[in-house]
Chains A and B, each alone.
Chain A
């Protein structure tokens, strides 16, 4: 008996980690908030720790309109251009 496989092969993607920053001192930090209830509070407090301890600069928050959908490509592109590193989290 011949059976079709009900699964599909995913697209080939080259996932790799971004190179680590040599230092956090004076870097620009971005925040991507997912719109959940406490996301902004939690992420801002986290970012402020980087500000206090490493002299980071916080740029205006990037937001997702839908917590459960991937961030739009233009949001990621803008963040990549504007910041040295980005923090995100659920905040639920």
Chain B
């Protein structure tokens, strides 16, 4: 067994009490004295410097990494309020390195990605790298830049998955955890090397609807024109609403009807949520949209969402080559959480049924995900996604 994981969860209101409870449970569950990494996820009320300080004080020099989330996922369920800690113990032939970057701006985002990539490579430059997991501030408008910077250093086909931190849907501030530090406007990540067996699955389940259209003018994550008309027209036509009405229903439209980018050679459309609509009719999307690409309006249902989860689980199993997962990491889009509502637990149930009822599971709801589109292939290129469930199964 290459990796041993112990999970502890607490919903105690006091953050120090919560850390103590979660950590003692995680220690009990790992059956090891030595740990190599602690992954920490929490709902927004635990995003407090005291939380990280307490964890640091109790764990010593163990690297800590994680972020805030709308809700946290464990094998025991989905918790709107709580703190979850996963302690990891790696086999001697596996190495790990953690790094972070701060103060990212729209102008420096690609460079920040490169810097994070360099820092992650650090001591692992000369060994075979297997996998990287990245967390970034969920309010960074276009995370695609960070990804391209990272890919420049780590390789385009390098298996990389990531999550954009979330808050309680107020979109005010999301937090990243790195060792004893808590910060926003940055990113942090883990790079794993050595003997590692893992499976990745990323699916969304949204289907294209209506006729294909072409992006005729775009820059980064802002689409100005579609079919040589103001981009907002696509939504105005489909929903028979004017700009003001669309702005009123923005949240619902963004979750249920994203834009799907057609990528030649890829199995699925790449989804982009609508962040806002500019007065000139430009659409601000969560993630970049290349000019001249073909797009479609996408539609999803609870059923298609859960079917996609099934498919993602199957891909993880394929990647693990029949071996069981020692731990499962889930990055699930907040859009899916809202769409599924009371059925959110059903999605977790599907993952548990597919990957083992007793397998330690830890996860978050994200404002964006990074994962290879054709996840079963090592050659799959990592993209910035919206609306997906990204599942990572790690085994020996």
Report if A and B associate in a common complex: no
